[in-house]
């Protein structure tokens, strides 16, 4: 199915499953090369990264651990608005090589905040692995060590990414059709 209707919006396939798979394999090989012997701790960010993380990690055949984290948004007490808090960091990452696994980096604000938070736990290193990157949307520069695909500044869904909680369960990635 090339067109998907979700609620009031229409989406068209923009990155087919085979294309995603090819780039996930490439990035998995890069991480395998860099992290072999370092027993990395992968931290996929829920909810969006669950599909990507499952595919990526099954292609990384080295000793590693996985622990999921989630971001909670709450209203700040001042006018800066939304502040996001990292929750569920259940594992001690002190001295560990951490690899954050994220679905998409848009403005970069979420990732910048996450890196700041994790750094306080004194890991040996922090690497960022993103399925998708929107270079034209970036407001803060964050180091992206591993990236599957760079995409234009459009709204996308599928393969873990949602529109209002829906459409995470597609094999392909879809882009919003501008009507």
* Catalytic center residues: 106
- Judged by CB under 6 A, the stretch of 13-21, 61-69, 91-99, 100-108 that binds ligand IMP is 100-108
Q: Of the candidates 40, 44, 48, 108, which one interacts with Mg ion according to CB under 5 A?
A: 48
How large is the C-alpha radius of gyration of the chain?
A: 16
**Total number of residues that touch Mg ion (CB under 5 A):** 2
Kind plus residue range of the DSSP H or E element containing 174: strand 173-176
Kind plus residue range of the DSSP H or E element containing 156: strand 156-157
| DSSP collapsed to 3 states, 55-83 | HHHCCCCCCCEECCEEEEEEECCCCCCEE
x-or-dash pattern for ligand IMP, window 132-161, by CB under 6 A?
A: -----------------------xxx---x
- Judged by CB under 6 A, the stretch of 13-21, 51-59, 96-104, 165-173 that binds ligand IMP is 96-104
**Helix axis angle, 17-35 to 50-57, nearest 10°:** 60
Distance CA 150, CA 152 (A): 7
x-or-dash pattern for ligand IMP, window 47-86, by CB under 6 A?
A: -x--------------------------------------
Is 103 a binder of ligand IMP (CB under 6 A)? yes
Which residues form the interface with ligand IMP (CB under 6 A)?
48, 102-111, 155-157, 161
């Amino acid at each position: 199915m090339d067109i998907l209707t979700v609620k009031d919006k229409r989406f068209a396939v923009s990155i087919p499953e085979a294309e995603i798979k090819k780039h996930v394999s490439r990035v998995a090989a890069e991480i395998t090369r860099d992290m072999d012997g370092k027993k990395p701790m992968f931290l996929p960010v829920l909810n969006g990264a669950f599909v990507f993380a499952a595919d990526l990690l099954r292609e990384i055949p080295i000793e590693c651990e996985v622990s999921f984290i989630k971001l909670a948004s709450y209203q700040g007490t001042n006018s800066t608005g939304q502040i996001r808090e990292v929750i569920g960091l259940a594992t001690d990452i002190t001295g560990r090589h951490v690899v954050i696994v994220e679905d998409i980096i848009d403005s970069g604000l979420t990732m910048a905040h996450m890196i700041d938070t994790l750094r306080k736990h004194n890991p040996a290193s922090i690497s960022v692995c993103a399925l998708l990157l929107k270079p034209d949307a970036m407001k803060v520069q964050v180091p992206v060590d591993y990236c599957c695909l760079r995409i234009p500044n459009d709204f996308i869904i599928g393969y873990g990414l949602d529109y209002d909680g829906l459409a995470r369960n597609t094999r392909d990635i879809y882009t919003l059709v501008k009507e």
